[in-house]
Structure 1
Amino acid sequence: MDRRRYLQAVGVGGTLALAGCTGESGEGDSAEFDGTGTLTLATATTAYDSGLLDAVVPEFEASFGASVRTLPRGTGGSLETARNGDCDLVVVHARPLEDRFLRSGHGLNRRGLMVNDFLLVGPPDDPAGVAGSDPRAAFRAIADAEAAFVSRGDRSGTHIREQRIWAAAGVDPGGDWYRETGQGMGDTLAVAEGLGAYTLTDRGTFLTVREGSLTAHVDRGIDDPPPLLRNEYAVIPTNPARHDVADALAMAFVGHLTGRARSTIAEFRVDGERAFRPLGAREAPNFGQYVPSDWER
């Protein structure tokens, strides 16, 4: 699959003011941008390959007079880029890795952004007989049949979730039937198609790529997926106390994603199908999203 070009378009000039970080106008402190700022975003490849960023980034550039440089690195690679101080914020989807990032002090003010789900896809003849199964049972069936399975093997959010499902299934995958690509989701889907193998994928990339005859055999839907298939994305700014970053611009982008862009995310379609569901505002604040999930007072 050809990757989309990095998004480096320069936005409109002029001076714009941002009130707060909610994506809406109102009272509060303001930061001004003069149309020359550049924001560097490291992102999970699933958010990039699906085309979602093509929809939400130009809106931000036009509104705030700044350009966005996008680095698709996968979740593990994106967090490492932020640890090195080489990006201003990240969009990621692996809470265990996010927790370590927050706990180490390299990121702060995590915001839940959107949800979709993971799918187990494979050849249409379904040699392991997994169609309609619980994800744990499906993974056990693949291992028992030693049916070909392709893993990203890259410490991405999808790879971390795949490992979690294997563990829940009580399986330590290995042998000739289990292969790792070390590549992004689009490329891994292409390898799975070529080998007639199963793989775990996010919905957004699968809808975008739809490699050959690969079929979704375990698909519980985007509205209320079970915990093992629920795929939550977050946006996390890099800590300006640790790194020299464009903090005001990063927080403006956070406000855009969790404010005005929520409607864009909700309306985003791939071949007429929803690829993501934005996380909505809550009556009671969810303070747990800002700190590691296993933090104790």
Structure 2
Amino acid sequence: MNLKRFLSTTLIAFLLVFIAACGNTENDSNEGATPEQETPTKEEAVDATELILATTTSTQDSGLLDEVIIPLFEEEHPYKVKTIAVGTGQALEMGVNGEADVLLTHAPDAEQELVDNGDVQNYKRIMYNDFIIVGPSADPAGIKGLEVSEAFQKLYDENAVFVSRGDDSGTHKMELGLWEAINITPTDNSSYVETGQGMGNTLQVANEKEGYVLTDRATYLAQKDNYSDMDIIVEGDDALLNIYHVMEVNPEKNDLINNDGANAFVEFLIKPEVQDAIEEFGKEEYGQSLFFKYTE
């Protein structure tokens, strides 16, 4: 073989190897994989493990979700919790519409309607605390120490500033029930204010307006350093019990419901060690539990 032919043959061989290498570049990431074994995209991986939790703002504003429940759950289970913190009424509506996988709320009467209608299942009571009336330290309406029905009546009679969430949340539902129990329409009071916002923002408005407000104890204790001129004015009444339930959205709502994740979340919350962790939350910082375990 002469030198010219040798060089030509070598060049052709080199080009064939180069072209073959370029053709295989796109398949390097899945080398040796069958179609069923190909690595899923990032979006596919997130969709497969995401768990949508619709819950009341109090569970988030208090820190219980982000500091205790979600970290413990994600450590134990292969799900990434996406929290949507809204008023309980809106959270329940998301369940009816199949827009969440699992619900954590605190309006038993409204929740029972979803249970009866088959919108949710595996309905479990998991914890409780209580509602309190918070107001100016000076208590201009003079309601300190009264029973809640007497306190609401006097707030109305005195035309005292009362700040309501006005958002169909569990707290708002409780407040409206207390007014209804004494046959009063609160909006007849010219000093009645509706924020349409969550508990934290509503407390802030009450503080600014030197008004009274019904709040869950956990959110108030978690944020009370922001309200130096406000105190707990009314507490301890049996009518102010605040019970939280967790429930799975009926998987028949749509094909996207993550029922395995929802079931795992419900069963996780009723485990004894998780119940203990819920009750321990807040003890060191606030000197008392923000929530108490309450399983059926």
* C-alpha deviation, 1:115, in angstroms: 0.5
- CA deviation string 1:158-193 (max 9, x = no partner): 000001111122321123211100000000000000
2:94–2:100 Cα contact (<8 Å) kept: yes
- In the TM superposition, 1:1-297 aligns within 5 A as 37-54=49-66, 55-174=68-187, 175-210=189-224, 211-212=226-227, 213-220=229-236, 226=238, 228-244=239-255, 245-259=257-271, 260-269=273-282, 270-281=285-296
- AA of the residue aligned to 1:171: I
SS in 1 for 2:202: helix
1:118–1:201 Cα contact (<8 Å) kept: yes
* C-alpha deviation, 1:272, in angstroms: 3.1
> Which portions of structure 1, spanning 4 or more consecutive aligned residues, are displaced by more than 3 angstroms?
none
1:44–1:91 Cα contact (<8 Å) kept: yes
- CA deviation string 1:253-275 (max 9, x = no partner): 10111113101101100533210
- AA of the residue aligned to 1:215: D
- Number of the residue aligned with 1:287: none
* C-alpha deviation, 1:36, in angstroms: 5.4
TM-score normalised according to structure 2 size: 0.79
State how far apart, in whole Å, the 2-side matches of 1:105 and 1:36 are: 25
State how far apart, in whole Å, the 2-side matches of 1:189 and 1:72 are: 17
Greater Cα radius of gyration, structure 1 or 2? 2
Structure 2 unaligned blocks of 5 or more: 1-45
State how far apart, in whole Å, the 1-side matches of 2:144 and 2:209 are: 19
State how far apart, in whole Å, the 1-side matches of 2:170 and 2:47 are: 33
- CA deviation string 1:87-133 (max 9, x = no partner): 10100001121122222221112100100000001011111111011
- AA of the residue aligned to 1:136: S
Structure 1 unaligned blocks of 5 or more: 1-33, 282-297
More helix by share: 2
- AA of the residue aligned to 1:52: L
SS in 1 for 2:186: coil
* RMSD (Å), alpha carbons: 1.8
TM-score normalised according to structure 1 size: 0.79
